[in-house]
Chains A and B, each alone.
Chain A
Amino acid sequence: MQWVNDIIQGILTGGLYALFACGLSLMFGVMKVVNLAHGDLAVIGAYIALGVITVTHVPVLWSFVIVVPIMAVLGYVLQRTLIQAALDRGVLITLLVTFGLSVVIENALLQFINADSHSLGVGNAIITGSFSVGSQIQIAYLLLLIFAVAVVVLLGLQYFLSGSRYGRMIRAVADDQEAAQLSGIDYRHVFGIAAAIAFATVALAGIAYGMYSQFSPTTGTDTILLFAFAAVVIGGLGSLWGTLLGGVVLGVAQQIGAQINQSDQFLAGYIVFLVVLALRPQGLTTRRAQS
């Protein structure tokens, strides 16, 4: 019964990891940008949520209404300025710039806020509550909610990319930038839109993590970026639903690892990642990356 519980908890945590991975996957899929500052931006989202809640006293669960637009605007601006400037100079420079950004954000948070851990929504009944199934299985409302949000975000992204006008433009630019330009698409603007969407999911990931656990300036790289990346690679590069599968596999591996030895939680997750990388580098879902 304990194992069943672990697997259920792992699957639900996988939703959180899939949420982490959405933005990373989208930015790579559309712009070929591997954003090494991804995790730190999620932490910024969490800090903005903390600030918004302290100042306006909105309920924690509704803080996203304010944080998501802020992060989306930040994403658009950052893409149109810094990231586009780096992209014009090649893949190597883009990596160096996002890595620089990651270090700057982390140390700026340490310098201007502090190294203390914070968390969102302590004492909120929905966030800390849970319900029991049988005698051994306890399911937290929060994890269920996050999993549902992850599924909704993935469904929304899929619908948006396949159905809407902007989605078609994003896919066109991702497929062939020059041909899209010839058809009258301003690819810089489309990149900006894609970055805005990616940053919106990053904001959700940051808030979700802030409610799920404690965050500090170093959380962005230690946890969010590496877990997001592991989920993307396990699931298969470029596949949206593969990301969810990757997150679930990572979550289950971590829960089982924690069950064997409390301190082995993260190690178990990374070992599964390395095994997948060794045996099946294209990821668990057979569909290869579109590009």
Chain B
Amino acid sequence: MSVVTDTSVRSEENYRVTRSRRNVAWTGAGALIVVVVLALFPYIVYSGTTSLMVQGFIVVILASMWNLMAGYAGLVSVGQQAFIGLGAYFVLILAQHSLSPFGGLPVAAIGCGVAAVPMWWLVSRLRSGYFAIATWVLATTVMLFIEKFPSIGGGTGMSLPGASGYDPTLLIAYTYWIGLAVTVLALVTVYLLLRGRLGLVLTAIRDDEVAARSSGARVGLARMLVFVVAAVGCGAAGALLALSQLIVQPGAVFTVQWTAKMAFATIIGGLGTIEGPILGAIVYMVLQQTLQSHNAWYLIILGLVAILVALFARRGLWGLIDDRLHIRLFPVGYWLWAPGSAGRRGLGKRGISPRGISPRGISPRGISHRRGGRHS
């Protein structure tokens, strides 16, 4: 007790608490430049490249959403393809009723969020592993249900009406810009959510669920919120998929391979970091393009790498970068500076700071550094 009081007194004098270990303004400016350059891409590269990048955007969005669930809320869903499919079908149905396919995207995303609420009510009755398979069953059920309607293509699928009026190059450029906008929006949303109250609640749950509950953290509500946000994100990604493919087929949008892709990208890039899914999506796209001509090989290799990373480097590639360079593009935790430390040295590493204020303690990272010890 005395230690805590001591620290709080001293912190007024010497200790500084910042969000990041480095200046955030630079990373913010860097991110802005990257987005502006990416926005100019349709003017400088061929449309083949931009449509490839739309695929990349889709993986980034999906991986960020999956990371929000698995990395921060401890929810392993194997049924996110339910929302990808629903998003794609919402766009198709709206386009059939002569709404522009681009206008259909936000409606599709919100629709998926609404659909996620009753689904959460069902699957949240089961824990961890059984929750995972329940989401999978739910996704399959949604697919089988949608296949019953011949007016939206039944079991074979249907091409997207309303897109034929556009010039092909322009269509790809529009899709690209919308993809970029959705990606930025998804990342900003995840960042703001984790920076705020929800991030703290999720960290508390991760560290000790029982203690979090008894301190008044609304565990169920926090998890539901994450599930719904992830559904909105995956729905938007599904709508984007429909726009980029211009055809919606139940077998292609509801396949569990989507979950495999988002999970592998997240695990390899770094589970429980916001930067990880972006890095993982890049790794994924590079591998997929390199091994394109070898059929299933890229999923075999990705799967094996993901298993190894999950076992031996659980914070993934970004974790390795962060440990060495202390870079966080999206700082969601806090960093405690020792008195008189002008620049490089934070106090957290030396472990003098009481538990709970050290950066390891309260930064809402998905995975605790302690081995084992998690009870649910």
Contact = CB atoms under 8 A, between A and B. Distances in A.
A99 B300 contact: no
B136 interface: yes
Interface in B307-366: 307, 310-311, 314
B303 A281 contact: no
A266 B144 contact: yes
A34 B130 contact: yes
A192 B131 CA distance: 25
Contacts, number: 140
Contact of B140 (A92, A94, A226): A226
Given A90-B374, A104-B304, A108-B300, A229 B130 contact: yes
B148 interface: yes
A36 B372 CA distance: 21
B94 interface: no
A47 to B, nearest CB: 16
Given A89-B371, A99-B263, A110-B295, A104 B300 contact: yes
B260 A226 contact: no
Contact of B260 (A85, A103, A232): A103
A226 B136 contact: yes
B137 interface: yes
Contacts of A233: 126, 130, 134
A264 B144 CA distance: 8
Nearest to B75: A92
A33 interface: yes
Interface in B246-299: 256-257, 260, 263-264, 267, 295-297, 299
B33 interface: no
Interface size class of B (residues with CB under 8 A): 35 or more
A237 interface: yes
A96 B74 contact: no
Contacts of A271: 141
B36 to A, nearest CB: 36
A23 to B, nearest CB: 14
B263 A96 contact: yes
A107 B144 contact: no
A103 B299 contact: yes
A277 interface: yes
Interface string A88-106: 1111111111011101100
A274 interface: yes
Nearest to A225: B133
A93 B371 CA distance: 11
Contact of A36 (B132, B155, B307): B132
SS of A interface (majority): helix
Q: Which of B78, B144, B306, B372 has most chain A Cβ within 10 Å?
A: B144
Contacts of A281: 125-126
A34 B132 contact: yes
Interface string A269-287: 0110110011001000000
Query: Counting chain B CB atoms within 10 Å of each CB, which of A89, A92, A95, A266 scores highest?
Result: A92
A85 B314 CA distance: 13
Given A95-B132, A111-B295, A281-B126, A101 B141 contact: no
Interface in A189-230: 221-222, 225-226, 229-230
A95 B263 CA distance: 11
A183 interface: no
Given A90-B374, A267-B141, A100 B303 contact: yes
A226 B264 contact: no
B138 interface: yes
B311 A86 contact: yes
From A82, A101, A103, A225, name the one whose CB has the most chain B CB atoms within 10 angstroms. Answer: A103
A86 B133 contact: no
A104 B295 contact: no
Given A34-B129, A111-B300, A230 B267 contact: no
16 contacts: A28-B130, A85-B311, A92-B128, A93-B314, A95-B129, A96-B263, A97-B307, A99-B132, A99-B263, A110-B296, A263-B148, A264-B148, A266-B144, A270-B137, A277-B134, A278-B121
Interface of B: 70, 74, 76, 78, 121-123, 125-126, 128-130, 132-134, 136-138, 140-141, 144-145, 147-148, 155, 256-257, 260, 263-264, 267, 295-297, 299-300, 303-304, 306-307, 310-311, 314, 367, 371-372, 374, 376
Given A93-B314, A96-B310, A232-B130, 15 more contacts: A33-B129, A36-B78, A82-B307, A91-B374, A96-B76, A103-B257, A104-B304, A107-B300, A111-B295, A222-B140, A229-B137, A267-B141, A277-B122, A277-B125, A278-B121
